[in-house]
Amino acid sequence: MAKLAICGGKAVVKKSKKWAKWPISDAADAKLVAKITTSNRWSFDGPVEWEFAEKFTAYQGAKYGMCVANGTIGIQIALEALGIGAYDEVIVPAMTWQATAAACVDVNAIPVLVDIEPDTWNLDLDAVEKAITPKTRAVIVVHLYGSMTDMTRLQKICKKHNLFLIEDCAHQHGSFWKGQGVGSLGDISSWSFQESKVLSSGEGGFNMCKTRELFYKLYSLRNCGRPYPADPAVFGLTKPANMQQYSLQSGNYRLTEWQAAILLGGLKRLDAQVKQRDINAIYLNSLLAGIPGILPMYRRPEITQQSYFNFAFRLDTKELKVDNKQFSVALNAELGLVDAFEPPYEPLNNCGLFRPQTKARHNLSKAYWKAIDITKYKLPVATEAHEKSGVTIHHQLLMNSRSDMEMVASAVKKIVDNIDQLRAVKPGQLKKYQALSH
């Protein structure tokens, strides 16, 4: 029997170990940023921005695409471009970053929270079908962490019920379903380039869409309501024939040339990084699958390349008789990490950052106020994953070596083999260890 690090034993990995860092840049990125700095073109519609937009859109296999200020705005203007607004219902997964649902409220639509699959934490499509009403206009599917729902079935559901399909791809730059890139599977997709994301410019976002009509609308919505000028001409597009049609009320949701430069450099590295993470995740999952009480996430066979924002796995809490918070603290201790392994997102019905009824502007009427009350939802699968069984870690873990994956699995196995020790650690002792690790 080995003594767990949290109980004073020797850790599997020393604290001095150098793990992969994120984000990553190189000299070519710095050179391009410097070139832009000495140029007279810093703002929107610059040559670097459109070079990135066209290359990233092509990589994901979509038809049209453009940069926007961030992923939240990307979802908001996607809804607006599709004509979704006051009192329209939009189905949203229970587990996601709060912005997915907040964007719906910001256009006065009603986010309808739907529970998730226990083994992917993505949309439960049986629950989606039950949630559809005559007021439903769209489904937002979130490709969460490192898993996907059944996109072929979801496309059929949306077609059957005449619903728009919006993809929130903030976590999965470089994922492919049946050889087709995420972001090209729905009507419009939204992406995030926030610092922690797989493709990053510190802050930033992106929209992809299927039609020229939607491209023109999205362009106006992100550019203060101005119509697309066709200067520069991208994606073979011309100036809209009826320009007045695309003069809209909107705001400034644009990206700078500096951000685009960082993205262009990151895009050159993206595919190789995604492949490295995918190989390591497959290997690590194979190791975890052999440990009693540890349940890897389900990978659908239609996924031809899987990108990861977070690597995740689940605990069989009935067998192990510990929860994810206990296990995460113990695992961080064994690997010499600080707050790296942690539970997944809070379910949106109990999320500290999703509080739509705290904004006066959302109080359209008594009926709307009641409709956006998140406390009415019961989301048992998302709640259980957050509170008990789910464990996640940032994708930079998967940027390490194959032997590092073996060390992670060894640490997990050590905890499972000595689970009685962890069960005996009181909550106060867990907090004490967390404080010491900082």
What pLDDT is recorded for position 424?
96
Other Cβ atoms less than 10 A from the Cβ of 15: the count is 12
User: Using 50, 70 and 90 to split pLDDT, how confident is the model at 243?
Assistant: confident
Q: What is the reported pTM?
A: 0.96
Question: In sequence order, what E strands does 293-358 have?
Answer: 294-296, 303-305, 310-315
Determine the Cα–Cα distance for residues 260 and 341; give it in Å rounded to an integer: 31
Average pLDDT over residues 223-244: 91
Classified by CATH at the fold level, domain 5-24+270-345+383-437 comes out as Aspartate Aminotransferase, domain 1 (3.90.1150)
Average pLDDT over all residues of the chain: 96
Determine the Cα–Cα distance for residues 168 and 186; give it in Å rounded to an integer: 10
- Two tokens, residue 166: 């919006």
Query: Crossing angle, helix 47-60 and helix 257-288, to 10 degrees?
Result: 30
Determine the Cα–Cα distance for residues 106 and 35; give it in Å rounded to an integer: 38
The DSSP H or E segment spanning 90 is strand 89-93
pLDDT at 404 over 90: yes
What pLDDT is recorded for position 438?
53
Contact 113, 377 (CB under 8 A): yes
CA distances from 30 to 27, 36, 39, 56, 307 (A): 5, 10, 14, 20, 26
What is the chain's alpha carbon radius of gyration, rounded to the nearest angstrom? 23
Determine the Cα–Cα distance for residues 345 and 48; give it in Å rounded to an integer: 35
Q: For the domain bounded by 27-265, which CATH number is listed? A: 3.40.640.10
What pLDDT is recorded for position 1?
78
The DSSP H or E segment spanning 190 is strand 188-192
- Two tokens, residue 108: 């006065």
What pLDDT is recorded for position 265?
98
- 273 Cβ partners below 8 Å, 6+ apart? 174, 198, 399
Place of tokens 């990233």: 56
Q: Which amino acid is at 211?
A: T
**Residues shown for the chain:** 438
pLDDT at 71 over 80: yes
User: CATH 3.40.640.10 spans which residues of the chain?
Assistant: 27-265
What pLDDT is recorded for position 331?
98
Instruction: Please state the separation of Cα 170 from the chain's center in Å.
Output: 4
List the alpha helices (DSSP H) in 118-199. Answer: 125-131, 151-160
Print burial letters for 294-331: b (CB count within 10 Å at least 16), e (below 16): bbbbebbeebebbbbbbbbbbbebeebebbbbbbbbbb
- pLDDT one-digit tens code per residue, 138-185: 999 999 999 999 999 999 999 999 999 999 999 999 999 999 999 999
What pLDDT is recorded for position 430?
81
User: CATH 3.90.1150.10 spans which residues of the chain?
Assistant: 5-24+270-345+383-437
What pLDDT is recorded for position 393?
98
- pLDDT one-digit tens code per residue, 265-305: 999 999 999 999 999 999 999 999 999 999 999 999 999 99
Other Cβ atoms less than 10 A from the Cβ of 14: the count is 9
